[in-house]
């Protein structure tokens, strides 16, 4: 690369991946390298382009955390190697984010940069807990302060006592370890003992927790609720508000960890959240359509050769029609073709393209599909086209061969799994009420690198899977507590969770 690249200091928001700005997300999607912290939501990294380098500077190796000086150095090195560097930081880069220090280093080295503001936890975490930082009649100002200094004892900042006299709302970051000192100092310097206080940990994420009380009793409440950092302390009249939707939905309070390609994770996230569940995408598979695929181009261009087309995934439907458009083919050429789909999800995807399915098997798996389709095809004349994933099941091919049916099996896309290091470990996975799987490859993606003892810890997790092939992959990893969706689609998975929740009452 000639010269140096540009560094974008992007605020990632407080944790909910939906709280990054459009500008920040666009830069994430196109950058060559991302340097990120522990606080930045890991699921944002699913948006990176293929081949984007990821550097985690938030991790602790042995007992060595990457120092700010080392981070500055990494930024400079990467700017010399890559055109677009994103430095992704939790919340906003300038709110206790040390963004300024990174900029000073870049200026020293003549590196061009731009700062994209982020939604700071100082305001958004209270908001998600139902606390407005100002409210007419209750608080006309808010001060954002740190509850921790860099000195050995982790003392309160020198001027903390003056904050007691300040009035308005106090929003204290990095203070939960010093809560006792904070409340004592504020009480000693005149804040009334019944001043409302809220402590919100892991705000805006699926793991948000809070404790409410007063300056007098909040330490006890935080201890009881076992609340730990990262947390925000809110002191003042507004800390007694609960401006949050109070409606009870069928999945309120249920935490679901989702896996799959964007196609399914987007739908699941939307549908589950509409029913009140809290969701996380724990492992996002990335779909890559093969670019130079002469066999596929040839098959579509001479589609008259085929009497049937089999779709075994919604991704295949979408990519097939995308290719059709790319090749500028005439849809009328499909008039004589019959479509076989594996289940309800694929049927719906095909309908979206304007075509009805001619055949859906009685059970949503490829063996039943091939067995039952065999009764419909003319064995000596008909030829079948199967555009599908690299990971597609061999059972389909074996069963068609068993029935002496002619077919062309063309691999049109590959499914790549997210980096192992971004995956949650067993301890984290155990905290979800349900895990969902929409394909056998998604199961492998999450579990193939996991140690046996870790998998054993997950033995009792409730897992909902889309169909029999996915179930089999889970059984092979030793899981037993498995629910299979009644219908092979995102809605089927949601229904599976709903009926299980109802059963448990």
Residue 95 CB, nearest approach to ligand SAH (Å) = 3
Burial 125-159 (b: 16+ CB within 10 A, else e): bbbbbbbbbeeeebbeebbbbbbbeeeeeeebeee
Q: Among residues 330, 339, 325, 334, which one has the least CA distance to residue 384?
A: 339
Per CB under 6 A, the list member of 10, 55, 76, 174 interacting with ligand SAH is 174
39 part of the interface to ligand SAH, by CB under 6 A: yes
136: Cα separation from own chain's centroid: 37
Per CB under 6 A, the list member of 24, 168, 203, 345 interacting with ligand SAH is 203
Collapsing DSSP to helix, strand or coil, 426 comes out as helix
Q: Which is nearer to ligand SAH, 157 or 486 (CB)?
A: 157
Per CB under 6 A, the list member of 92, 210, 318, 468 interacting with ligand SAH is 92
Q: Which is nearer to ligand SAH, 174 or 277 (CB)?
A: 174
Q: β-strands 278-289, 482-484: how paired?
A: unpaired
Residue 14 CB, nearest approach to ligand SAH (Å) = 4
Residue 116 CB, nearest approach to ligand SAH (Å) = 13
Q: Which is nearer to ligand SAH, 32 or 92 (CB)?
A: 92
Choose the binding region for ligand SAH from 73-81, 223-231, 243-251, 329-337 (rule: CB under 6 A).
223-231
Number of H helices, E strands in the chain: 18, 21
Q: Which is nearer to ligand SAH, 15 or 343 (CB)?
A: 15
225 part of the interface to ligand SAH, by CB under 6 A: no
Q: Map 336-386 to HEC letters.
A: CCEEEECCHHHHHHHHHCCCCCCECCCCCCHHHHHHHHHCCCCCCCCEEEE
Q: Which is nearer to ligand SAH, 174 or 501 (CB)?
A: 174
103 part of the interface to ligand SAH, by CB under 6 A: no
Whole-angstrom distance, CA of residue 231 vs CA of residue 179? 11
Whole-angstrom distance, CA of residue 291 vs CA of residue 326? 11
Whole-angstrom distance, CA of residue 481 vs CA of residue 169? 48
Catalytic residue among 59, 352, 402, 459: 59
Q: Among residues 63, 121, 65, which one has the least CA distance to residue 89?
A: 121
24 part of the interface to ligand SAH, by CB under 6 A: no
Choose the binding region for ligand SAH from 62-70, 86-94, 306-314, 434-442 (rule: CB under 6 A).
86-94
| Residue 174 designated active-site | yes
Residue 66 CB, nearest approach to ligand SAH (Å) = 16
52 part of the interface to ligand SAH, by CB under 6 A: no
Q: How many residues at the interface with ligand SAH, by CB under 6 A? A: 25
Per CB under 6 A, the list member of 131, 198, 232, 494 interacting with ligand SAH is 232
What contacts 259, CB < 8 A, 6 or more positions away?
265, 281, 282, 283, 284, 285, 435, 436, 437, 438, 442, 443, 445, 446
Residue 229 CB, nearest approach to ligand SAH (Å) = 5
CA distance readout (Å), 434 to 155, 253, 437, 466: 42, 12, 10, 13
CA distance readout (Å), 323 to 116, 291, 296, 297, 318: 36, 10, 9, 8, 9
Span 324-363, contacts to ligand SAH by CB under 6 A: none
Per CB under 6 A, the list member of 25, 133, 182, 201 interacting with ligand SAH is 201
| Residue 59 designated active-site | yes
Q: Which is nearer to ligand SAH, 91 or 442 (CB)?
A: 91
Catalytic residue among 6, 174, 280, 323: 174
| Residue 419 designated active-site | no
Residue 202 CB, nearest approach to ligand SAH (Å) = 5
Could you list the beta-strand ranges (E) of 202-333. Answer: 209-214, 231-235, 255-261, 278-289, 308-311
Contacting residues toward ligand SAH, per CB under 6 A: 14-15, 39, 90-92, 95-97, 120-122, 125, 173-174, 200-205, 229-232
Residues serving a catalytic function are 37, 59, 174
């Amino acid at each position: 690369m000639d010269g140096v690249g540009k560094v974008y200091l992007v605020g990632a928001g407080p944790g909910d991946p939906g709280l990054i700005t459009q500008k920040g997300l666009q830069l994430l999607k196109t950058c060559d390298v991302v340097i990120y912290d522990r606080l930045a939501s890991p699921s944002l990294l699913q948006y990176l382009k293929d081949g984007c380098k990821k550097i985690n500077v938030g991790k602790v190796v042995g007992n060595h955390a990457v120092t700010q000086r080392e981070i500055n150095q990494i930024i400079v090195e990467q700017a010399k190697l890559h055109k677009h560097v994103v430095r992704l930081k939790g919340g906003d880069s300038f709110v206790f984010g040390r963004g300024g220090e990174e900029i000073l280093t870049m200026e020293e080295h003549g590196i061009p940069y731009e700062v994209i503001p982020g939604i700071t936890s100082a305001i958004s975490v209270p908001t998600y807990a139902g606390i407005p930082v100002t409210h007419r009649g209750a608080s006309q100002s808010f001060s954002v302060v740190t509850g921790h200094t860099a000195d050995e004892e982790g003392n309160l900042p020198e001027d903390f006592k003056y904050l007691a006299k300040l009035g308005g709302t106090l929003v204290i970051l990095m203070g939960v370890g010093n809560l006792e000192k904070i409340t004592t100092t504020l009480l000693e310097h005149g804040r009334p003992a019944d001043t409302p206080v809220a402590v919100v940990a892991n705000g805006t994420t699926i793991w948000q927790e809070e404790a409410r009380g007063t300056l007098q009793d909040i330490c006890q409440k935080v201890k009881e609720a076992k609340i730990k950092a990262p947390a925000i302390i809110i002191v003042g009249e507004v800390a007694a508000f609960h401006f949050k939707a109070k409606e009870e939905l069928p999945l309120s309070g249920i935490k679901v960890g989702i896996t799959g390609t964007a196609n399914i994770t987007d739908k699941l996230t939307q549908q589950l959240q509409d029913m009140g569940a809290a969701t996380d995408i724990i492992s996002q598979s990335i779909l890559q359509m093969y670019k130079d695929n002469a066999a596929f181009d040839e098959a579509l261009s001479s589609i008259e050769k085929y009497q049937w087309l089999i779709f075994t995934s919604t991704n295949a439907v979408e990519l097939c029609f995308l290719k059709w458009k790319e090749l500028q083919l005439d849809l009328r050429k499909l008039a004589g073709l019959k479509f076989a789909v594996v289940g309800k999800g694929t049927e719906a995807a095909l309908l979206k393209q304007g075509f009805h399915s001619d055949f859906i098997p009685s059970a949503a798996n490829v063996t039943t599909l091939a067995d039952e389709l065999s009764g419909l095809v003319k064995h000596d004349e008909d030829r079948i086209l199967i555009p599908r994933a690299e990971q597609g099941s061999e059972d389909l091919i074996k069963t068609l061969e068993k029935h002496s049916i002619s077919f062309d099996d063309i691999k049109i896309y590959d499914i790549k799994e997210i980096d192992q290091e971004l995956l949650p470990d067993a301890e984290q996975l155990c905290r979800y009420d349900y895990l969902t799987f929409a394909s056998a490859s998604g199961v492998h993606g999450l579990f193939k690198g996991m140690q046996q003892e870790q998998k054993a810890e997950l033995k009792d997790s409730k897992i909902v899977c889309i169909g029999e092939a996915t179930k089999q992959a889970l059984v092979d990893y030793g899981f037993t507590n498995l629910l299979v969706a009644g219908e092979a689609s995102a809605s089927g998975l949601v229904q599976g969770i709903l009926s299980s929740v109802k059963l448990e009452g």
